[in-house]
Amino acid sequence: MGSFDEFPLHYRTFLRAYPWRRIDPVPWTPLAKPLAECRLALVSSAGLVLPDQAPFDASIRGGDPSFRRIPSDTDPTLLRDTHRSDAYDHAGIARDANLALPLERARELVARGRIGSLATRHLSFMGSITAPGRLMRDSAPAAAAELAADAVDVALLVPV
């Protein structure tokens, strides 16, 4: 794991002054059945989009709170990284989008019987949302409703 000191000074200054929110209680639901019987959805904060989808809008102050739907049968090589942050090296995700949305690994786990099935769609958000009000009020409930409509039992958040 990296160190806080690896960030440039302007990021360290921002992170020290940022008004972090405490979520209490932490939303958590224990699994009601074995993982091998569960439907899994992947939720990434890498800002990944498909070629026919609009990129996340980097001009929105506080971050773009929208999300993109990624069909389960998507070829990960088609995904494009539109994350606005320059605080990390994007080269790994450019080489293999599975680092940020592990579709191929999830398919392998389904094939091995470790996970019951995959959702028909997965979700991609823009990370680095510094003003999360709209995300929490509008986007997160809409995303949760879509996952519930898809009968998702487990959502794996892949933060970037």
Helix (H, G, I), strand (E, B) or coil at 49: strand
What does the pLDDT read at residue 8?
83
Do the domain assignments include residue 97? yes
Which of 66, 72, 40 is closest to 53 using CA atoms?
66
Do the domain assignments include residue 147? yes
Task: Take residue 59 and report the two structure tokens written for it.
Answer: 């001009």
Do the domain assignments include residue 10? no
Structural domain containing residue 134 = 32-158
What does the pLDDT read at residue 2?
66
Do the domain assignments include residue 148? yes
Do the domain assignments include residue 57? yes
Judged by phi (left if over 0) then psi (alpha if -120 to 50, else beta), residue 112 lies in: alpha
Residue 8 burial (CB count, 10 A): 10
Exposure of 118 in the CB half-sphere (CA atoms within 13 A): 23
28 or 78, greater pLDDT: 78
Using an 8 Å Cβ cutoff, are 118 and 72 in contact? yes
Q: Give CA–CA dist 48/50, Å, rounded.
A: 7
Lowest mean pLDDT among 17-21, 102-106, 116-120, 152-156: 17-21
Do the domain assignments include residue 23? no
Kindly state the average pLDDT of the residues 89-110: 94
Which of 78, 157, 152, 81 is closest to 121 using CA atoms?
152
Beta bridge partners of 68: 124
Indicate the helix (H) or strand (E) that contains 69: strand 67-71
Q: Please provide residue 121's backbone torsions phi and psi, each rounded to the nearest 5 degrees.
A: -145, 155
- What's the mean per-residue pLDDT of the chain? 92
Beta bridge partners of 154: 40
Q: In Å, what is the CA distance from 83 to each residue of 55, 94, 119, 126?
A: 9, 11, 24, 6
Please, which pLDDT band fits residue 135 given cuts at 50, 70 and 90? Answer: very high
1 pLDDT exceeds 70? no
What does the pLDDT read at residue 80?
95
pLDDT digits (tens, 9 = 90+) for 36-76: 999 999 999 999 999 999 999 989 999 999 999 999 999 99
Kindly state the average pLDDT of the residues 116-132: 94
56 or 87, greater pLDDT: 56
Do the domain assignments include residue 15? no
Do the domain assignments include residue 112? yes
Number of domains in the chain: 1
